[in-house]
Structure 1
């Protein structure tokens, strides 16, 4: 699965045109696509309703998860 790096404007414009993948398939390639372990994706998509996601949508959700403030 090759992924071309794009600017945020190009990515936003092409989200509707991107292929969508089953979450399990994205998890298999988490390190190559997003630079994270599959466990991070499990946390980021805990109780997620989306069955199929584009790479851009998944990356956005992972970034939000990684930046989330942890409360004690």
Structure 2
């Protein structure tokens, strides 16, 4: 479960980087729920103790992706 959350976090960060490009800001509307699911998977991995280290790393990656994507939407980059 921890490895899945780590891969999910990496994909979220890559998607977030793509959504930083002008005219692709709408991708944040899909990336934020995607990263939230990855964060939930990471929390489950940490709680069960299976893949704890990879779960923590995956959780951090998802939180960073959610944070930067939310800031991008707040400054008005969600339409363009």
TM-score by length of structure 2 reads 0.26
More helix by share: 2
Larger RCO (CA under 8 A, 6+ residues apart): 2
- TM-score, normalised via structure 1 length: 0.28
